[in-house]
Structure formats: structure tokens, C-alpha cells
């Protein structure tokens, strides 16, 4: 169970060829090759829709030891193009597991390759930047043919990847994070004065992770999830107390319809952007986005909250960032990445809108970023009070 069989190759557009053992699905998949520095949580990574169109390299050497547990899925299926590991565990050692990683990847249609020197591969990506690649188990393709496919692939720049991962119909979400996860007695803030009927959040699904929905529910919100193409007026017709702009894959500059909807909502209802949602909000207020050299992917990125000087260890998955120098004066940068100084969070000085580039729901702390949800809830409480609902 979970033991690799057959051979596989990972080729990069720079002409390098990496040989290893195949696991998961068979076939050839193209994608951007990125590395993730998380030590744990490979299932949450595999089911994060933000990885659509990417081949993920895990820098932690031993992967697969806890198998797969359906309760830990962040989306309805895996959207990534391939998975690269140093050592695939031949044994599953978790009482929660229902199947091994290799079997699950095969069902998801995602090929994997093991036995790769992931440290050398990561160093290459850090020096050259993100590269296009092909992961193949097909012995009939030559190395040169695979390299040509990788080079000919259009990549993700300028491509709307959101439509491939967003829901097609609205749905309601009520499930919360489990009570043992909360540690409510450790919270450093007073109880929230919610309206009698709670708060209603409309969440745009640009590739939303389920734990974002669970955390909103844990803070007293009932959530309506809507497709990415939903116009602003349809969202407002649902009478939300707040709107969440979710994470998602691809190039944020290729999503003008999301920016237009966000701009139409700005100032009319509290907004909270996460990851891609942060980049969309940044464009809606007049800023620009740019591609990072190799992105931020992992659960150990240090981020500084500028108003307090507090440092959070945070989870990231993004290849693009908001250019802080292009933001208007009425938008304040609230968080910066301590590795490269890029903008990790912002808030509008006069309108109820905030966003962060990282994933507060992922919780490496696990509660370092809970104040972000508290701030969003407080903005919604004030909005409900102004609307006469509280």
C-alpha cells in the first residue's frame, strides 16, 4: 500500500531531467513547478485549489506517513497537476487514514514522482525562479519531447484559472471547526457582541478552502458561498453583513470581473480578502500586482503586523503579490513578509475593508491570525448596527 511502482520523469523548461519512481496516476501533466516548505499538512496542500496548474515539490523529505483522511480535504477534489517528493512512505501510520497517498492520487488523476533530490530541485527553482515543467510516466515520450511540451505550454500568466475551481451554484455553509481546536480560554479578546440572528457572510468562491468557511462559522457567521462570476448586485441582494474574497489560483491580473465586482462592493459592505482575494482587493483600490520570483508556498513564513510589531508564523500559497508602492494613500499596509519585504496585508483607512496575503485559517500557530477574523466580525457588527439590525 502506497509503495511506488514504475518509472517517472520530471522535466523542466531549462532542459533538466529528473528521474524517479512513479506513484499515483499515470500519464503526462504540465504545470508550473513550485516548492512548498511545509513539514506537515500535505493533504491540505494537495486539496488547496490555489495549486491548480502547478506541480508541487515538497521540501520535507518524508511524505505519505499519515495517509489520507477525507475530513482534512480543503476542496471537493485535487486540482494540482503533479506531486514531487523525496521519499514516499511505504506505510500509513494514522488511525484516521482511510487510504494511502498513492491510491488517493491515482483516484484523483494526479501523477506523482518519488526519489527526486528535492533539495537540489528547490535550489534550482530559487535561483532561476518558477519554471514550467512536465511530469510523465509515459515511457514512449523522449526527454526532448517532454522538454518541448514544457516549453510550449502557455503557463499561467494572463490565464483565468478561477473558473476551473469555483462552484457553479450558490450553497450554504454552517459547519464549524471542531470544539477541541478552539482553545477559547486562550483568546486574547473579549466576547463578540453578535446580533441576535448572527452575521451573514457572502463568500466569493475563487477556489475557497473549507477551513475558511469553518473559521467564519466558528466566529458566529452563517455563510453563503457564491460562484466567482456572481455580480455585485446579486451579492448585495442577499443582504450580507460582510463579503469574503477567497483564495484561488492563477494570475490575479487576469480576473477583471472579480475586480469590478469588488470595486462595486467597496464601501457598501465590509470586505475581507484572503490570498487571491487580497490581490483582487488591491487592484480594486487602484493598486497593481506583480509576479514573485518563486512565490511563497509553505506553513512557516514570518509576517510582521506593522501596527503592533507582532510577528506571526503563517501559511502561504501564492506566486503573485500586491505592489505596495502603487496603493493609494487611503490604503494602509498592515503586514509585511520578513523574508522579502513584500506586502502581506492592508486595510482601507476610511472604508470597512481589509485583506491579507497569507492564510489565517490554516493556523500554523494555530491561533496567531485569529485577530483578523475578529476584526472582520467587528466591522460586520458595526455595519449591522448602522443598518439597524443590532
Tens-digit pLDDT profile for residues 236-293: 999 999 999 999 999 999 999 999 999 999 999 999 999 999 999 999 999 999 999 9
Q: Tell me the HSE value of 253 on the side-chain side, using a 13 A CA sphere.
A: 13
Query: Could you give the CA distance from residue 274 to residue 243 in angstroms, rounded to a whole number?
Result: 11
At 34 the pLDDT is 98
Q: Tens digit of pLDDT for each residue in 3-59?
A: 446 999 999 999 999 999 999 999 999 999 999 999 999 999 999 999 999 999 999
**How many whole angstroms separate alpha carbon 246 and alpha carbon 124?**
31
Q: How far apart, in whole angstroms, are the C-alpha atoms of residue 245 and residue 228?
A: 9
pLDDT digits (tens, 9 = 90+) for 165-191: 999 999 999 878 765 555 554 454 556
Per annotation, catalytic residue among 335, 348, 359, 367? 359
Evaluate if residue 67 carries a pLDDT over 60: yes
- Report whether 224 contacts 202 (CB < 8 A): yes
- What are the structural domains, with CATH classification, of the chain? 7-152 (3.50.30.20), 162-386 (3.40.50.880)
The pLDDT score that the predictor gives to residue 188 is 47
Catalytic residue among 221, 275, 342, 343: 275
pLDDT band of 197, cuts 50, 70, 90: confident
332's enclosing H/E stretch is strand 331-337
Whole-angstrom distance, CA of residue 239 vs CA of residue 236? 5
Entry pTM: 0.95
State yes or no: is 361 an active-site residue: yes
What is d(CA 205, CA 207) in angstroms, rounded to the nearest whole number?
5
In terms of DSSP H, where are the helices of the chain? 42-46, 101-108, 118-128, 143-152, 210-218, 232-237, 256-265, 276-284, 370-386
* 99 labelled catalytic: no
Per-residue pLDDT averaged across 75-103, rounded? 96
Lowest mean pLDDT among 92-101, 131-140, 300-309, 365-374: 365-374
Lowest mean pLDDT among 186-195, 208-217, 229-238, 321-330: 186-195
Inter-residue contact 149 to 47 (CB < 8 Å): no
Mean pLDDT of 293-316: 93
> What is the maximum alpha-carbon separation in the chain?
68
DSSP class per residue in 48-108: -GGGTTEEEEE-SSEE-TT-B-GGG-SSSS---SEEE-SEE-SS---TT-SB-HHHHHHHH
DSSP state of 359: B
| Residue of 44, 361, 367, 383 with catalytic role | 361
Q: 202 pLDDT exceeds 50?
A: yes
At 118-127, the pLDDT tens digits run: 999 999 999 9
Active site residue 359: yes
What proportions of the chain, in percent to the nearest 5, are helix, strand and coil? Answer: 25, 30, 40
Query: Quick one: cell of 162?
Result: 478561477
Mean pLDDT, all residues of the chain: 93
pLDDT of residue 300: 87
Angle between helices 256-265 and 276-284 in degrees, nearest 10: 70
Instruction: Give 205's strand partners.
Output: 227
- Residues 21/113, Cβ–Cβ less than 8 Å: yes
In which band, very low, low, confident or very high, does the pLDDT at 304 lie, cut at 50, 70 and 90? Answer: very high
Cα gap 359→251, rounded to integer Å:
18
Q: In the predicted model, what is the mean pLDDT of residues 357-361? A: 92
**Bigger pLDDT: 52 or 194?**
52
Amino acid at each position: 500500500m502506497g509503495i511506488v511502482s514504475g518509472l517517472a520523469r520530471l522535466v523542466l523548461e531549462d532542459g533538466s531531467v529528473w528521474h524517479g519512481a512513479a506513484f499515483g496516476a499515470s500519464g503526462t501533466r504540465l504545470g508550473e513547478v513550485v516548492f512548498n516548505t511545509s513539514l506537515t499538512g500535505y493533504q491540505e496542500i494537495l486539496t488547496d485549489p490555489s495549486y491548480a496548474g502547478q506541480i508541487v515539490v515538497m521540501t520535507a523529505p518524508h511524505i505519505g506517513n499519515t495517509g489520507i483522511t477525507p475530513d482534512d480535504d480543503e476542496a471537493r477534489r485535487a486540482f494540482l497537476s503533479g506531486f514531487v517528493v523525496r521519499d514516499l512512505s511505504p506505510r500509513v501510520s494514522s488511525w484516521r487514514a482511510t487510504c494511502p497517498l498513492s491510491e488517493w492520487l491515482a483516484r484523483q488523476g494526479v501523477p506523482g514522482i518519488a526519489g527526486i533530490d528535492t533539495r537540489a530541485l528547490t535550489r534550482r527553482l530559487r535561483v532561476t525562479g518558477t519554471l514550467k515543467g512536465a511530469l510523465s510516466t509515459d515511457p514512449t515520450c523522449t526527454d526532448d519531447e517532454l522538454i518541448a511540451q514544457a516549453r510550449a505550454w502557455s503557463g499561467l500568466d494572463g490565464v483565468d484559472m478561477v473558473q476551473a475551481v469555483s462552484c457553479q451554484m450558490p450553497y450554504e455553509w454552517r459547519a464549524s471547526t471542531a470544539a477541541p481546536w478552539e482553545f477559547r480560554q486562550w483568546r486574547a479578546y473579549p466576547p463578540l457582541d453578535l446580533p441576535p440572528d448572527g452575521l451573514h457572510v457572502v463568500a466569493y468562491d475563487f477556489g475557497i478552502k473549507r477551513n475558511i468557511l469553518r473559521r467564519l462559522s466558528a466566529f458566529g457567521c452563517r455563510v453563503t458561498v457564491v460562484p466567482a462570476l456572481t455580480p455585485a448586485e446579486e451579492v448585495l441582494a442577499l443582504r450580507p453583513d460582510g463579503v469574503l474574497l477567497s483564495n484561488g489560483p492563477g494570475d490575479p491580473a487576469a480576473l477583471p470581473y472579480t475586480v469590478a465586482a469588488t470595486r462595486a462592493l467597496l464601501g457598501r459592505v465590509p470586505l475581507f480578502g484572503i490570498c487571491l482575494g487580497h490581490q483582487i482587493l488591491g487592484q480594486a483600490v487602484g493598486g497593481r500586482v506583480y509576479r514573485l520570483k518563486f512565490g511563497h508556498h509553505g506553513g512557516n513564513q514570518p509576517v510582521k503586523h506593522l501596527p503592533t510589531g507582532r510577528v506571526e508564523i503563517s501559511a502561504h500559497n501564492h506566486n503573485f503579490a500586491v505592489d505596495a508602492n502603487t496603493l493609494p494613500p487611503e490604503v494602509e499596509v498592515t503586514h509585511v513578509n520578513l523574508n522579502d519585504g513584500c506586502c502581506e496585508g492592508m486595510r482601507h483607512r476610511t472604508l470597512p475593508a481589509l485583506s491579507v496575503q497569507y492564510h489565517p485559517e490554516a493556523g500554523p500557530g494555530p491561533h496567531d491570525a485569529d485577530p483578523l477574523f475578529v476584526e472582520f466580525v467587528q466591522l460586520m457588527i458595526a455595519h449591522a448596527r448602522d443598518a439597524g439590525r443590532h
